[in-house]
Amino acid sequence: MTKSLLKYRYSFTAGAFAAGGSFFGHAPSQLSELPILIRLFEYTPETIYYLELILLRALPIALMLICNVLNWRYFLKALQCTEQTLTATVLTAATNYMFSFLLGAIVYGEKVTMLSTLGAAFIIVGLWFLCKAQEEQKVKDKMKKLH
């Protein structure tokens, strides 16, 4: 199983960057509601304006763009490393969903329900079956070539 996870590392990395892109895309609306950021600085109305512009708007958007570029970079590498494009696509999407679920719950305090936990469990089990099926197919193909 470890070799199959290593083989699909680009898919997992692409999914993590995709989740990062959506996380930072969602961040400006969430960060602007945190009054603690404003209390950290001696402020004037002009300082608050520039602080909000740079830290709460520009930085998250720049990080979102960087994450999205890296998502595509690693997704293309994942497509090159796998025999089937469907495998890379599914692994990337599932990783994106899992990281988004975790980031939403931990950072943004989104509600974790029994249904969302069950959905996350199904995604993990599906990933395991997908990776296992790919490895078993490879073994079968090798056995056919030997005979």
Could you report the per-residue pLDDT of 33-58, keeping only the tens digit for each? 555 555 555 556 666 666 666 767 78
What's the domain count of the chain?
Answer: 1
Quote the tokens at residue 58. 């520009």
Q: Which residues, 6 or more positions from 2, have their beta carbon under 8 angstroms from its beta carbon?
A: none
pLDDT of residue 41: 53
Asked whether residue 67 is domain-assigned, the answer is: yes
Distance separating the N- and C-terminal Cα atoms of the chain: 25
What sections of 32-84 are H helices per DSSP? 36-39, 45-51, 59-81
Asked whether residue 90 is domain-assigned, the answer is: yes
pLDDT of residue 6: 73
Asked whether residue 144 is domain-assigned, the answer is: no
Could you report the per-residue pLDDT of 79-130, keeping only the tens digit for each? 998 877 888 898 899 999 999 999 888 887 889 999 999 999 999 888 888 7
Asked whether residue 30 is domain-assigned, the answer is: yes
Asked whether residue 69 is domain-assigned, the answer is: yes
Residue numbers of the domain that contains 16: 2-139
**Average pLDDT, integer, range 13-37:** 79
Asked whether residue 130 is domain-assigned, the answer is: yes
Residue 15: pLDDT band (50, 70, 90) is very high
Contact 8, 87 (CB under 8 A): yes
Asked whether residue 145 is domain-assigned, the answer is: no
Asked whether residue 146 is domain-assigned, the answer is: no
